[in-house]
Amino acid sequence: MSDLTHIDATGAARMVDVGDKVATTRVAIAQGRITMSADAANALARGSVKKGDVLAVARVAGIMAAKRTSELIPLCHPLPLSSVTIELTPDPVGVTVTATCACTGPTGVEMEAMTATSVALLTIYDMAKAIDKAMTIGDIRLISKTGGKSGDWSRPA
């Protein structure tokens, strides 16, 4: 069990001590997708969803989620995020969400980027479910990360 960083010698969950780690600039990009009916996608594109501007609300929800990741994921450290951007790319059958999070600190921002992506997607579902309850959320994944002791990583093409 000693190789598992979130487990102590007795097998109990623990928050990793990052106090001695060097603060570096860290950036993580995550992405996910929601697929929906053409009717729902058209309503989003036209801005005619009864609950309001779905993409604007999803963008704010993603930013808020990134800032609260440590409250949602039990062993995550609270991080001083320097930026969070949420890119929403609608198409005829859905929306792709890309979240980019950055900070200068002793630990990475991968969970913040994935949480932002997830909550933005859930917000789209919530606001458009009256049109299409069969929407599917998926493909949430880390695209890349930079900084830190383990260095840079990008998802293979």
Are 51 and 137 in contact by the 8 Å Cβ rule? The answer is: no
Per DSSP, which regions of 11-154 are E strands?
A: 24-35, 81-91, 94-105, 136-146, 153-154
Is 126 designated active site?
yes
Alpha-carbon dihedral 106, 68, 72, 140, rounded to 10 degrees: -80
Active-site pick, 17, 91, 126, 139 = 126
Tokens 């053409």, located at residue: 38
Q: Decide: residue 120, CB within 10 A, 0-12 exposed, 13-18 middle, 19+ buried.
A: buried
Residues with Cβ within 8 Å of residue 31, at least 6 apart in sequence: 96, 97, 98, 99, 117, 139, 140, 141, 143
Active-site annotation, residues: 126
